Structures are given as C-alpha cells and as structure tokens.
Structure 1
Amino acid sequence: MTQIVDEIKKLKEARRAVILAHNYQRGEVQDIADYVGDSFGLSQKAVEADAEVIVFCGVDFMAESAAILNPGRAVLNPAPEAGCPMARMITAADVRKLKEQHPGAEVVCYVNSSAEVKAESDVCCTSSNAIKVVNSLKGAEAVFVPDMNLAAYAQKFTSKKIIPWHGYCPTHHLITAGDVLVAKMEHPGAQVLVHPECRPEVVDLADGVFSTDGMIKYAREATADLIIGTESGLIHRLKKENPRIRYYPLSTYAVCPNMKMTSLVSVRDSLRDMKTQIRVPENIRIRAKKALDRMLEVGR
C-alpha cells in the first residue's frame, strides 16, 4: 500500500492534480486526498483548486458536477461504475413533466442527480443548504427532486409549499426509528446525529440533524459520545480529527457499496492513464451550470 501511495503522490505532482474525496469514501482514499468533504464543500474546492486535473473520489454525479463547473480542466472519476441509486430514480423527462404540472413552481434539484436533471432545474442544493435554497426562492411553491426525505426536512423550516419527488437514498432509508431507540439504550448518554436524507421518524428522534460536514463541525465541540446516523465512512474522519470522544454507527447496515468502489489502485490508475475522464455535452453543461452556480451563490 505504501508503494501505491508514493506512486499517487508522484503522479499527482506530475499531472498538477488535486484529489477530492467524499466523506463516505474508504479510509485509505480519504487519507490520500487533498480535500475531504461533503458535496457542497467539494463543489467549492473543485472551483477554487489551482490544478489542471481534478480526481474526484465519489460517485458519478459528483465527478459530473465538477466537470460542469470546470470545463477547462480534466475531471477524472477513478470508479466510473460507482453510481448513485437515488440519482437514477428521476430523469430529465420526469422533471419536464413536473414543470408542466406545476407551472408556477421553481425546481430545486438536490445535487445527488444527473447533469440532465440539473439542466432542467432552476437551482441545485445540498443537504447543508437545502433550507436556505428553498427560502431564497421568490415564489410560494417549489418542486423538490429527487429526495423526498430531504424535502420533508426542508418543509419544516419554510412557509413555502414543497412538492416532493418520491426518491430516496437506499443507505439512509434503511435506518429506522427502531435503530435509534436501540442505539440510545446501548449507549446511554451518547447523542444521536442523523443526516436529513433519513426518514422523517428517524429525524424526529435525533438530537441533531446535519450534513456530513455539519456532523464534523458539531463533533469538534461535542462533550458526549456520538451515535452517527449516516454512511459509515464518515466515522473514519471523525475518529481521525476528533479522537477524544467515541463514535458509534446508528446502523451497521449504513454502508453505500457505490461509495466503496474507489480504491487506491483505481486512483493511481486513473492518474497514470488519465482515465476515466468525465465529459458533459455542452448544451447540457451550460444549463446545469446555471443551477449549480445559483447554489454556490446562495452558500451554506
């Protein structure tokens, strides 16, 4: 493994590359990345990074978003087979139909979606700024795609009517209210933090609801142990950055197989062979970029 890490470092320097890794990636992939974060933070880093090549360790829509925002740079996806099941629960045709059914509503598109879906939307959002994005809209109604759980969470904090699409993240949707009750019994005194992609009844039982980066920030000041209700990969970063408290997964089943497809070998091979480069058709890219730019303007 040490040899592969050395190869990656040399290739990164030779290619003038930056490596971005999502919080759900394997621990060893997070450890070789220049930046680790959530979708919003990594979208910002992709734009800000002074690099000719962007290696995005995540799932397909993340690398695609980086390519949309950085047309002049090569964006590599080391695991092109790593898709997002939720992103595949809606199509551009579905969004067009929703716009016909709700002509007065703007379309808010969770960043966990394809470029084609983003291109049909008015503004993108992430789990960290969904509420802020919805409240930034001028109209009284918003179509929200594709995550119904994030839509339900945002609805609690806005007077606007949210019209949700019935998509969901299978990994977060597996977490149940029973998991929360059992975890609290097994770890008395620990606080439960959950991701807003979780079911509403899970969110209602939690002590805090945060994006992955929100959980990282919360942990920095936490005095109690934490039960983490999101994909298990986040616990690697939590333990690394804040080892003074203990972390427990809310569910041992909260593992996204797609997020684990990237390996050190695939990162090395991607840099060495400049594969797999993500390309978005220009007519799609320009429209999708407007929605992403608007998301970045709203901020967290």
Structure 2
Amino acid sequence: MTMLDLDYKRKVVALKEQKNAVILAHNYQLPEVQDVADFIGDSLALSKNAATTDADVIVFCGVHFMAETASILCPEKKVLIPDLEAGCSLASTINVHELQAWKAEHPDAVVVSYVNTTADVKALSDYCCTSSNAVKVVNSIPRDREVLFLPDLFLGSYVAEVTKRKNMYIWPGECHVHAGIKADDINKMLATFKNADFLVHPECSCTSSAMYHMSKGDLAKTGHILSTEGMMKHARASDAKQFVVATETGILYRMQKENPDKEFIPIKRDAVCKYMKKITLEKVYNSLAHNVYEVKVPKDVADRARLAIDRMLAIS
C-alpha cells in the first residue's frame, strides 16, 4: 500500500465514524478496498448485512445491481456506489423491454432471475436466485409450469442439466469473465496441479461455466462447490498446500491473507472483472466525503423486486 493509499485509508476510517457509515466490499474488489471494508463477501450476503446494520450510510463497493439490491432491502438507508460506471456485463444482457416480450411469448411461465440483474428486471420476475440456490428455486416450481431462466446461459444450462427439466427456457446472456473459462482450460490446470484441491465458488458469477462443465462430466476432477465462508473453512482445514480456484481473481487476496502458508492458483489469471476494479480507495473516500453516488430504487419497483427476493429467501 502506497503512502497515498495510507492517507486515504486514514481519511476513510475517520469519515466512517463521523457519518455512521458502513463499507461493504465484494470479493472481487481491489485489496486496498477490501482492507477498509466492514464486510467482505458475495452480493446477496452483503445486502443482507446492509439490511441488519445500524449505519445510516452504506458504501457499496461492488457493481450497480448490488447497490440496487441493498437499496431494495433497506430503503430507509442512504446507499452509495463510488463509481457509477461499475456496471455488470451479465446484468446488461437483458432489459425490461426484452423480458416483457419474452414473457408475452410464454404467458404462463414462471420467471426466475439470477441476482445479477437490474432492479427493473427483478420487478418483472417471480423469483430471484443465486448460483448456490438456483436448483432449489427451480425445483420448487411445479414441473408442469414453463420456466424462463435469465440471464446467465451457463448457470441456466447447469440448472437444466441437474433438474432434468424439459420445459425450461434460458436467456443467452453471459458474463465477460466466465465466458472465457473453458473445460480445456480447467483440465490443463488440474493436470498441472495434480494434488491441488479444486474449489468452485457457487455465488460468483464467473464460476457458473465451471459448474456446468462439472455437471456434464467434462472435467478430470470434481470440484468442491462451496460458499465464501465454506471455501475459507475448507482452505484452513484441508491438508492440501495448493488450491486451484475457479472464480474471478479478486477473491485470492482474501484467501491468501487468511492462509499465508498455502498457495491459491486461479483457473485463469486474466479472469478479472474490469467493472469491479473501477472502484479505488480514492473513489471510496470521495463517495463518503461528498455523498456520491446515491443509488435509490423507486418504491413501486423496489416493492415488486423485493417480492421476488423474499420468495427466494423463503425457499433458501
């Protein structure tokens, strides 16, 4: 950490106390941003932390749809995102008009949306889901009902493979990071690091392709599909000294920090989300100092989106 970063860190810590603020950082954030965060984790878990905090201000260091979800779950709090350009290539693959047209083609279908979607899209959905509970959500729907699953092609294909559902339609969206993770890439890494544990994080969007390849039997080794905390616990408890990790590379900082005597190897070193990396420590300071940029979901949209999220939570 540079002297400038240390200065910003001191200023951020002081402003947090002064403004009764909490900083939430996604696993993909830069190390220096993670270091000033009160909570580090996945998008929905961070939003649940936001909903239970006593803070007046939430600085969400993630991407825009995550800040929207925090705003939906805690409308009385001020939710800030340090950079408005921190979007999501997966969430942007479908908009409200496209979903409305798709629903019109399947008027009796149940719509299941991955959390990597905008608030407007969630408001038109019947259920939300994460990678770790998508199978459970789809299995809760009567098998004679059509399902529209969006927007992740890989996650949808994985769910269809596991549930063996024939009346499930999948939107052809993809994350720019996980689209580049192929079965051949994974098998080459597993062959190189034969004794390494293979960890797959189910709630990181860029691992849904790995989950799909696992379900199809395309991989040389079965991975451990674990939540963030599950991965951390496994890494601490495992006798393995090497771990091959299928996810965006940002999570490796936290894993290495908690297990300095072990080696964590990314499936692909260029599996980097450029949108997550837009948020810097300087921007976190600017956000706190000037109350920018506030993310507020209109009440009618938030109420409908919250229903889809609550249905998911009730199943989980």
Q: TM-score, normalised by structure 2?
A: 0.89
Tell me the residue number matched to 1:250.
267
Tell me the residue number matched to 2:181.
175
* Aligned partners of 2:24 and 2:59 also within 8 Å: yes
> Which amino acid counterpart does residue 197 of structure 1 have in structure 2?
S
Tell me the residue number matched to 2:169.
163
* Aligned partners of 1:5 and 1:264 also within 8 Å: yes
2:85 is aligned, of 73, 81, 94, to 81
Q: Is 1:201 the counterpart of 2:210 in the alignment?
A: no
- The alpha carbon displacement at 1:109 in A equals 0.4
- The alpha carbon displacement at 1:202 in A equals 6.3
1:144 is aligned, of 149, 169, 184, to 149
Residues 143-152 or 157-166, more deviating: 157-166
Q: Is 1:8 the counterpart of 2:12 in the alignment?
A: yes
Per-residue CA shift, 1:271-294, capped at 9, x if unaligned? 111110012222212111111222
Q: Is 1:43 the counterpart of 2:59 in the alignment?
A: no
SS of 2:22 mapped into structure 1: strand
* Aligned partners of 2:44 and 2:66 also within 8 Å: no
1:64 is aligned, of 64, 68, 76, to 68
Per-residue CA shift, 1:219-278, capped at 9, x if unaligned? 233322211111000101111123342110111110011011111111111011111001
Per-residue CA shift, 1:122-141, capped at 9, x if unaligned? 11111222122222224543
Tell me the residue number matched to 2:225.
210
Tell me the residue number matched to 2:235.
219
Describe the shift of the 1:217–1:40 C-alpha distance in structure 2 as closer, same or farther (beyond 3 A).
farther
Describe the shift of the 1:211–1:96 C-alpha distance in structure 2 as closer, same or farther (beyond 3 A).
farther
> Which amino acid counterpart does residue 185 of structure 1 have in structure 2?
A
Tell me the residue number matched to 1:17.
21
Tell me the residue number matched to 2:298.
281
Per-residue CA shift, 1:36-91, capped at 9, x if unaligned? 00122112111111111111000111011111111111000011111101111001
CA distance in 2, matches of 1:222, 1:152: 31
2:104 is aligned, of 94, 97, 100, to 100
- The alpha carbon displacement at 1:217 in A equals 4.1
CA distance in 1, matches of 2:177, 2:224: 16
> Which amino acid counterpart does residue 215 of structure 1 have in structure 2?
M
CA distance in 2, matches of 1:222, 1:254: 25
* Aligned partners of 1:193 and 1:207 also within 8 Å: no
CA distance in 2, matches of 1:54, 1:298: 27
* Aligned partners of 2:119 and 2:297 also within 8 Å: yes
> Which amino acid counterpart does residue 69 of structure 1 have in structure 2?
L
Describe the shift of the 1:245–1:288 C-alpha distance in structure 2 as closer, same or farther (beyond 3 A).
same
CA distance in 2, matches of 1:255, 1:64: 22
Considering only aligned residues, what root-mean-square deviation do their CA atoms show, in Å? Answer: 1.8
* Identity in percent: 44
> Which amino acid counterpart does residue 120 of structure 1 have in structure 2?
L
- The alpha carbon displacement at 1:209 in A equals 5.5
Dislocated runs of 4+, deviation >4 Å: none
CA distance in 1, matches of 2:147, 2:50: 28
Q: TM-score, normalised by structure 1?
A: 0.93
Describe the shift of the 1:277–1:118 C-alpha distance in structure 2 as closer, same or farther (beyond 3 A).
same
SS of 1:170 mapped into structure 2: coil
Describe the shift of the 1:202–1:169 C-alpha distance in structure 2 as closer, same or farther (beyond 3 A).
farther
Tell me the residue number matched to 1:111.
115
CA distance in 2, matches of 1:222, 1:261: 34
CA distance in 1, matches of 2:295, 2:17: 21
Q: How many residues align?
A: 299
Q: Is 1:238 the counterpart of 2:255 in the alignment?
A: yes
Describe the shift of the 1:92–1:209 C-alpha distance in structure 2 as closer, same or farther (beyond 3 A).
farther
